[in-house]
Amino acid sequence: AKLMMQFIPGADFIFSGFSAIPKRDNMFGGGNFDADDLDDYNVLQRDMQVDGGLRPIDEAEAIAVRSRAAMAIQAVYAELGFPPITDEEVEAAILAHSSADVPDRNLVADMAAADAFMAGERSSLDVVRALQRHGYDEIAANILEMGRQRVIGDYLQPSAIFDGAFHVQSAINDANDYQGPGTGYRLTGARWEAVQQIPQAKSPREFIDAQLGGPSEKLVEIGDAKAGTRPEVVVAVGPAFGSAMIKTIGELAHEDVLAAILTGVASAGLIARVVKVYHSADCAAIGYAGAQLSGSGIAIGLQSRGTAVIQKKGYEPLHNLELFPQSPSLALATYEAMGRNAALYALGQAPPPVAVQVDNGARLRLIVKTALLHKREMEEVKDQPPVEMLFNWEPDVA
């Protein structure tokens, strides 16, 4: 949240740097700009199309960079006579997340060597020579250029950064021309492509692949749905139910969910009729349509992702008898109880509502998957009246 006022598409400067250490090693106190937050930060850059100065890399690239850096530091220490860095330390540093993952060093000896270097005649040029002698020419050239830029001093200009060629870009020579939405610096081209290459990113299909499938052989359309004339419960399902989608968000098979609901209805002594609603993917609208067709005026509306409602004819679309919004928490036993309650309502009774487990973290965990599943169901919406469905199943009740 603290980034939102700065992450404005069009702005060309967010802040001057991002910590490369994890919170546990941050002696200034951990914040939201540490190594533990890199993944979140990279996603924010991509989703808001804002250049925050970072780019994601994959594990192989990270290991390659760390390997070369660790060995270069080992070479400089050896060349300058500092306390030696062992091969064991190099290997640990390559894969380490924090200081807890590397061997302890003699900090007194390290500090003494650093003090002697600072008090002596040596400078960064000695570091450059050491790197060159050990074959690290590119790193040596970068350190030499950093020293040159320090002498020039242009990096002290307001909001200054170096580009990939060590050219200074600042508020003086590259002023921010942001004047509102749609203006200012636009993240495009190679830089935009680099920001989008998030290694752990998944395609939308991967999020919902477990819920997708082909038409159920047990559930077939048999014609236009007609209004009922006898006591019954209509189970109105969404347009993707048992066809484009075959499981709920909780990975319950649609056939099993339908069987559980019908078992519940049968246990109360009533029959159920299955209807597919095509004109809407909205749970309330599905239940409302089912209630208009039900001989008793009672229907269960069921989205393909598992969200359900018990609806009564004569109620407004958003008014219902019972609502089951937390579909990830719904078990087959819940759907069976739902069917039984719907049947009891149809018989003129007033049963206690079905108890549902509340998971306050479900929305955070599954909001993306929920949206993608709803989008998939929306793709099956047609300007077509409800159709009667034949479900090849027999209730297992006494």
397 has pLDDT over 80: no
Q: Which of 67, 156, 158, 152 is nearest to 144 (CA)?
A: 152
Query: Which sequence spans correspond to the domains of the chain?
Result: 208-391
**3 — pLDDT class (breaks 50, 70, 90):** low
H/E stretch holding 89 = helix 87-95
299, 291 contact by CB (below 8 A): yes
Q: What residue spans of 134-220 are helical by DSSP H?
A: 137-152, 189-196, 204-208
pLDDT at 237 over 90: yes
Residue 132 above 80 pLDDT?
yes
Predicted confidence (pLDDT) at residue 356 exceeds the cutoff of 60: yes
pLDDT at 357: 83
Give the pLDDT band (50/70/90) at residue 262.
very high
**What is the CA angle 237-369-330, rounded to 5?**
55
Q: What percent of the chain has pLDDT over 90?
A: 72
Q: How confident is the model at residue 365 (pLDDT cuts 50, 70, 90)?
A: confident
- The mean pLDDT value for 79-99 works out to 96
Number of H helices, E strands in the chain: 12, 9
Tens-digit pLDDT profile for residues 292-343: 999 999 999 999 999 999 999 999 999 999 999 989 999 999 999 999 999 9
Please report the pLDDT score of residue 328 as a whole number. 92
Sign of CA dihedral 54, 55, 61, 62: positive
- Who wins on pLDDT, 244 or 176? 244
Residue 1 has pLDDT above 60, yes or no: no
**What fold characterizes domain 208-391?**
Rossmann fold (3.40.50)
Q: pLDDT at residue 380 above 70? A: yes
- For residue 299, give the nearest of 329, 320, 325 by alpha carbon: 320
Q: Residue 181 pLDDT > 90, yes or no?
A: no
pLDDT at 398 over 70: no
* Residue 124: per-residue pLDDT: 95
Q: Per-residue confidence at 16, pLDDT binned at 50, 70, 90?
A: low
Reported pTM = 0.69
Residue 5: its pLDDT value, please?
65
Q: Which residues contact 326 (CB under 8 A, 6 or more apart)?
A: 356, 357, 358, 359, 362
